[in-house]
Amino acid sequence: MNNKGQVGVIVAILVISLLVAVLVIIQTYYVPQWMKDREAEHMDVVANQFASLKYSIDLQAMERSSSPLINSVTLGSKELPYFISSRAFGSLQILSSSESNFSISVSGSGRNLEHFYHKLQNGNLSYVNSFETFGIWIDDLESGDYYNAISPYFNISLTTSGSSDISLNLLIKNGSGNTIFNGVIYVGKAGEIKWIDLLDSIYNFSLQIMPHIQFPINITANCSNNGSFIIRGYRYGNIGTVSFPPLYLRRMGEIKYSSENAYFVNQNYIYEGGAVVLEQHTGSSIIYPPLIHLENSTIPYINITAVDIVGIEGKTGAAGYGTYPIRTNYSSTYHAGAIGNLTITIYTKYADAWEKYMNTTLNASGLSYTLTRGNGYIQINFNNARIEMDVVKIYAQIGPGWVV
């Protein structure tokens, strides 16, 4: 009996030892691997949440809509039940312009984009970049008057004829010489004042010519003495020094998430200037691109939309492992542009990420450029390029409540 009792004790000890060994193996090998996979999945979740956040802000910046949008970011992940493991934490911050140290500017020598209003009767109007108003103003309706406007993309001719009743015949051709409108548009008495809006869709100019114009363009007008072409919009002015945006708009805020993982590599996700940057100990890269449009035309064209994030006081941070909302709201847009020998300068803590992205994007576009990287910035030089920039201010807050 004693021998049987001893055997039972030994068997029990061996079983317990086996269970302990299995638990130790699970705890020391499998639990860290499971937690590493869990934290990696959480990092993927954060990446997708920042993609949604960027999409929402892009939408607000492009549509300039004042309607607020809400996105969420999950700061951490829970530990495993029944086993000894550590919970992952994270922090979410809206960094002010002084804390982020991010800025973007354009400088050089060329023609600055300016708003203009011009009455063109006889002569040239050069470097027109867009139309807000384009029409013919007749001070005194008289038979035999004429109004002509020519550019590489259109030929507009308005002639008057008749004696008691004077008719206006409008002829519009595109750059290939094809007629897109030809007809009598008005019949009236001598001495009348008349305004003809060429951008009205009934004349087909806005529908069949405007979409094919490669701005900037030059316009030559030749009119009789009783009227003129009225043109309002944006054009590039005289050659001078280029520098925009103003200093108070160059520094921009950002949104930053930082992980505090126990098993997986720590990562930072940063929304700055319209791009999402992933940073870890091996370096940084742009995983969601900024709002930059490139055209390799006769005069290369670069359009940049840079986003300035402005935090609401008292609602600029959160830490822990829960899910927190980020509410964003469009505020305002500053627009500027220039044509000439221009340099784009981007100051950022993640210069390596911006350098790799800009090199890849510019090489794919076929544009000629020179990129220089310094300590905390990159500079991109263009010869005879056209650059337009929008700086969009977006208010943001972390947590519930209303954006002011």
pLDDT value at position 83?
47
Instruction: Collapse the DSSP code of 32 into the 3-class scheme (helix H, G, I; strand E, B; otherwise coil) and give the result.
Output: helix
Question: Residues 372-399: what's their mean pLDDT?
Answer: 96
What residues contact residue 403 under an 8 Å CB cut-off, 6+ apart? 68, 312, 327, 328, 329, 395, 396, 397
Question: Residues 324-333: what's their mean pLDDT?
Answer: 95
Residues 63 and 175 in one domain: no
Question: Residues 148-162: what's their mean pLDDT?
Answer: 96
pLDDT value at position 129?
95
Q: pLDDT-based confidence at 2, cuts 50/70/90?
A: low
342 within some domain: yes
Span 27-54, pLDDT tens digits? 565 556 666 778 888 899 999 999 999 9
**Number of structural domains the chain divides into:** 2
Q: Using an 8 Å Cβ cutoff, are 111 and 216 in contact?
A: no
Span 75-88, pLDDT tens digits? 976 554 544 445 67
pLDDT value at position 127?
96
Q: Using an 8 Å Cβ cutoff, are 72 and 90 in contact?
A: no
Q: Using an 8 Å Cβ cutoff, are 362 and 389 in contact?
A: no
Q: In this structure, are strands 122-138 and 217-223 parallel, antiparallel, or unpaired?
A: antiparallel
350 within some domain: yes
Going by C-alpha positions, the residue among 290, 292, 277, 256 that lies closest to residue 352 is 277
Q: pLDDT-based confidence at 401, cuts 50/70/90?
A: low
169 within some domain: yes
DSSP 230-247: EEEEEEEEEEEEEEES-H
pLDDT value at position 76?
78
Residue 148 has pLDDT above 90, yes or no: yes
Domain termination residue (choose one: 213, 241, 269): 241
Residues 272 and 385 in one domain: yes
- For 136, the domain range is 114-241
Residues 378 and 344 in one domain: yes
Residues 43 and 158 in one domain: no
Which single residue is written with the structure tokens 């035309």? 297
Q: Which amino acid is at 402?
A: W
